Amino acid sequence: MGLLKRLVSIGMPVVLAACATTQERVSTDALAKIKKVAVMSLTANEFHRQYTGFTVFGNESEMQDISAWKVDDEYETQIRSVLSKVARFDVIQVPYERKDFYSVYDINGPWDAPAYRTPKWTAVEEKLKAYSTKNSVDGIILILKRESNDFLASTNQYFRGAGFYVRGLGNTTGVSVLHLLSSVVLVDGQTGKPLATRILARSHEGWPGTVARAAPMMSIAPVISRAKLAELSQETITDVRAKLIDLPKDAWEPTLKALLASGG
């Protein structure tokens, strides 16, 4: 029971931050109405580096715009390929401006705090509806960055989206990973509202904490993750980009299958 309680205590905040009030299963009736879908990935426009030291004074946090890496383009291609196998949708590719939809990340409350860093659907509902109407789609598979508490080192810190998370004590590095923390959402094209959402994970079996730990991650050399982003060589950046593109390849299919499993 001790381990079970620990998994639940670690996992539940992760799920709540990712899903807010959106259910994990879409109704059979709602799913039956969706014939034509588009894919939007808004999850990899930024790269975050979070370093957690021994005390708060040793913590480091930075972010870099990586939209020029076009990782989201690669993710959309991967998702469309998987959707053609797991769902009976007509999947289309439609050009759009990602920046038009980044307001979904606006703070969803009176101040900047983890509880309010959930998708702000009211900021994008009309835009999603207009996009769906213009392109005659019934639904949108939307990929969003999410924030998680530190289930890797059990500190009180948070990490999110695409980036490095590092836990160090002096010259010792206990955790050093490249991660992609995302949510996969099925949006109703008629309303612009989410029908269901799932954490992007390589497995959706087991307790919420188990699923959270199956998010796309890989170990990364501390000499890279502990360096300032501006100090990384072009060769290293090229390698990190390639790794980030490959990172979720084995997570799309189980996540989309879980997302599109109707709940009656």
What's the CA gap between 136 and 90, in Å, rounded? 11
* pLDDT tens, position by position, 228-251: 999 999 999 999 999 999 999 999
Crossing angle of the two packed helices 252-259 and 71-86, in degrees rounded to 10: 60
Task: Give the separation between CA 184 and CA 89, rounded to whole angstroms.
Answer: 16
State residue 264's pLDDT score: 54
Residue that wins the pLDDT comparison between 223 and 23: 223
Token pair belonging to 95:
């050009």
Confidence of residue 23 (pLDDT cuts 50, 70, 90): confident
pLDDT, tens only, 159-217: 999 999 999 988 899 999 999 999 999 999 999 999 999 999 999 998 888 999 999 99
Q: Strand pairing partners for 43?
A: none
Q: Could you state, in order of their start, the residue ranges of all structural domains in the chain?
A: 2-259
| Closest of 123, 148, 160 to residue 43, by C-alpha | 160
pTM of the model: 0.90
164 in Cβ contact with 220 (< 8 Å): yes
* Cβ partners under 8 Å of residue 233, min gap 6: none
User: Encoding tokens for residue 175?
Assistant: 């955790």
| pLDDT above 90 coverage of the chain, percent | 75
Q: H/E element holding 250?
A: none
pLDDT tens profile 42-63: 999 999 999 999 888 789 999 9
Give CA 25 to chain center in angstroms.
18
Q: For 177, list phi and psi in degrees, rounded to 5.
A: -135, 150
Contact 144, 104 (CB under 8 A): yes
16 contacts: CB under 8 Å, gap ≥ 6:
none
